[in-house]
């Protein structure tokens, strides 16, 4: 699996996760800043879907912006979305959630194109309400 961290997540998080997950889980983790330098996220979405990247977003308002959710679907982009309870935490805690739930997230992404990781006292992994099963 190839996971691309969006602009709101720092480059060092991608580097650390890549080091941890590449050997153990055969996952490639990169920062959007390194793979697509000098481009805004919306400009590269067609390439993300075509090249098989999974987009990791940690934007507490993202699910509320219908236009962006429709664009994910239009370009066949699989995504991991951290909800507000996780997105508002420090980066090391967000990374810990991703690492701790990696197997659940990968199973969810094999069934649904968008995986929502919800926080609080208990972490919940779920597809978007209107997601269709992945092909």
Span 100-110, pLDDT tens digits: 889 989 998 98
- Mean pLDDT of the region 42-50: 86
DSSP string of 65-129, one letter each residue:
-HHHHHHHHHTT-EEEEE-HHHHTS-HHHHHHHHHHTHHHHHHHHHH-SEEEEE-SSS-EEEE-T
Cα(74)–Cα(41) distance, integer angstroms: 15
Say which DSSP state 30 is in.
E
Q: Confirm whether 133 is domain-assigned.
A: no
Whether the predicted pLDDT of 120 surpasses 60: no
Q: Confirm whether 7 is domain-assigned.
A: yes
pLDDT of residue 134: 43
Number of structural domains (the chain) is: 1
Placement of tokens 């507490």 in the chain? 60
The CATH number covering residue 71 comes to 3.40.50
pLDDT tens-digit map of 75-92: 889 999 888 888 888 999
User: 61 lies in which domain range?
Assistant: 2-127
pLDDT tens-digit map of 7-27: 889 999 999 999 999 988 999
């Amino acid at each position: 699996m190839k996971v691309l961290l969006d602009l709101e997540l720092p480059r060092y998080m991608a580097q650390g996760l890549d080091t941890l997950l590449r050997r153990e889980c055969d996952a490639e983790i990169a920062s959007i800043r390194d793979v697509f330098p000098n481009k805004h996220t919306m400009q590269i979405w067609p390439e993300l879907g075509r090249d098989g990247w999974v987009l990791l977003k940690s934007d507490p308002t993202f699910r509320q912006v219908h236009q962006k959710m429709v664009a994910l679907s239009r370009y066949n982009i699989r995504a991991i979305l951290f909800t507000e309870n996780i997105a508002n935490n420090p980066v090391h805690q967000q990374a810990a959630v991703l690492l701790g739930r990696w197997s659940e997230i990968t199973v969810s992404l094999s069934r649904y194109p968008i995986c929502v990781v919800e926080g609080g006292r208990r972490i919940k992994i779920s597809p978007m309400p209107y997601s269709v099963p992945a092909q």
